[in-house]
Structure 1
Amino acid sequence: MGTISVDEETGRTVVVLAGEIDVALRPEASQALSTALRRDLPVVVDASGVTFADSSGIAFLIQFRALGRDEGLDVTFRSLPPAIVDVLEILGVRDEFACAA
Structure 2
Amino acid sequence: MSELRSDRAGSDGAGPDRSGAVLVRAAGQLDQDTVGPLEAELLDAARKHSVVVLDTAGVTFADSSFLNLLLRVRRMTRLRLVEPPPRLLRLLEIAGVQDLLTISPGLEEAMRLP
TM-score norm. by structure 1 comes to 0.79
Partner SS, residue 25 of structure 1: coil
**Which of the residues 64, 67, 83 maps onto 1:58?**
67
**Which of the residues 90, 101, 107 maps onto 1:86?**
90
Q: Summarize the alignment of residues 60-79 of structure 1 with structure 2, pairs less than 5 Å apart.
A: 60-68=69-77, 74-79=78-83
- Using the aligned pairs only, state the percent identity: 31
Per the TM alignment, residue 99 of structure 1 is displaced from its structure 2 partner at its CA by 1.7
Please identify which structure carries the higher helix content: 1
Q: Once superposed, what is the RMSD of the aligned Cα atoms?
A: 1.7
1:2 aligns with 2:2: yes
Tell me which stretches of 4 or more aligned residues in structure 1 moved more than 6 Å.
none
Aligned to 1:42: 51
Distance in 2 (alpha carbons) for counterparts of 1:33 and 1:63: 10
Distance in 2 (alpha carbons) for counterparts of 1:78 and 1:98: 9
Distance in 2 (alpha carbons) for counterparts of 1:52 and 1:27: 15
Q: For 1:42-72, what per-residue CA distance to the aligned partner results, in whole angstroms no more than 9, with x for missing partners?
A: 111100001111221222222222332xxxx
TM-score norm. by structure 2 comes to 0.72
Q: Runs of 5+ in structure 1 lacking a partner?
A: 69-73
Distance in 2 (alpha carbons) for counterparts of 1:41 and 1:33: 12
Distance in 2 (alpha carbons) for counterparts of 1:94 and 1:38: 23
Q: Runs of 5+ in structure 2 lacking a partner?
A: 10-15, 107-114
Partner SS, residue 50 of structure 2: coil
